């Protein structure tokens, strides 16, 4: 077998696979995504599996400089909550961990981000089923301040 040796560039014919669809979207003053940011159990340590999702979230923030302030909000289910407010504290620590990740690893300007944890105070689904409790465990990105979009010119 003779190895290929050439100083000339060459092209391999064939179809280029399409780019995967975007997982992260800016809609209705929210940065939305269907996946969950994953954390170690009972911890604010972000799992490596969430790195690509957080990178895509950072890309949406970078591509939208009109977003001046984004609130990162941590939420928990009411399951396992104790009077000491453990779930609220954990959701706050997780929201802050996400904010720190975006600042330190994705170079998002810290002045654009804030973080808070709500614990189980703002459920979006039933607390009576596991499916509902799972939906309530989430991190949300809400746009709280933005520059108005420039008006488009109308032709007469």
DSSP one-letter string for 71-121: EEEEE--STT--TT-HHHHHHHHHHHHHHHHHHHTT---GGGEEEEE-TTS
**Statement: residue 151 has pLDDT above 60:** no
Contact 54, 46 (CB under 8 A): yes
Q: Which residues contact 52 (CB under 8 A, 6 or more apart)?
A: none
Is pLDDT at 66 greater than 70 in this prediction? Answer: yes
Q: Which residues are within 8 A (CB) of 112 and not within 5 positions of it... i.e. 6 or more apart? A: 61, 67, 68, 69, 70
What is the residue-averaged pLDDT of the chain?
A: 88
For residue 64, give both structure tokens. Answer: 């939208």
- Domains in the chain, please, with CATH? 24-146 (3.30.1330.60)
The three-class DSSP label of residue 136 is helix
Q: In angstroms, rounded to a whole number, what is the distance separating the alpha carbons of residues 121 and 58?
A: 27
- CA–CA gap between residue 50 and residue 37 (Å, rounded): 6
Phi-psi region of 28 (alpha: psi -120 to 50; beta: other; left: phi over 0): left
Identify the residue with better confidence: 126 or 80: 126
Confidence bin at 29 (pLDDT 50/70/90): very high
The secondary structure element, H or E, covering residue 116 is strand 113-117
Q: What is the mean pLDDT of residues 118-125?
A: 92
Tokens of 14: 């064939």
Give the relative orientation of helices 51-62 and 86-104 as an angle to the nearest 10 degrees: 60
Number of H helices, E strands in the chain: 3, 5
pLDDT score, position 21: 81
Taking residues 41-48, report their average pLDDT. Answer: 95
**pLDDT tens-digit readout, 98-117:** 999 999 999 999 999 999 99
The C-alpha R_g of the chain, in whole angstroms, comes to 21
């Amino acid at each position: 077998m003779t190895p290929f040796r050439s100083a000339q560039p060459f092209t391999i014919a064939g179809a280029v696979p399409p780019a995967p669809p975007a997982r992260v979207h800016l809609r209705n003053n929210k940065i939305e995504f269907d996946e969950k940011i994953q954390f170690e159990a009972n911890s604010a340590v972000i799992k490596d599996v969430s790195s690509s999702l957080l990178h895509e979230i950072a890309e949406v923030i970078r591509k939208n400089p009109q977003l001046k302030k984004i609130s990162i909000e941590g939420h928990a289910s009411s399951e396992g909550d104790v009077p000491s407010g453990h779930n609220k504290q954990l959701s706050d620590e997780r929201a802050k961990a996400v904010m720190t990740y975006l600042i330190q690893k994705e170079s998002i300007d810290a002045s654009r981000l804030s973080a808070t944890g709500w614990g189980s105070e703002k459920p979006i689904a039933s607390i009576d089923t596991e499916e509902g409790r799972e939906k309530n465990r989430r991190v949300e990105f809400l746009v709280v301040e933005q520059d108005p979009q420039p008006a488009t010119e109308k032709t007469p």
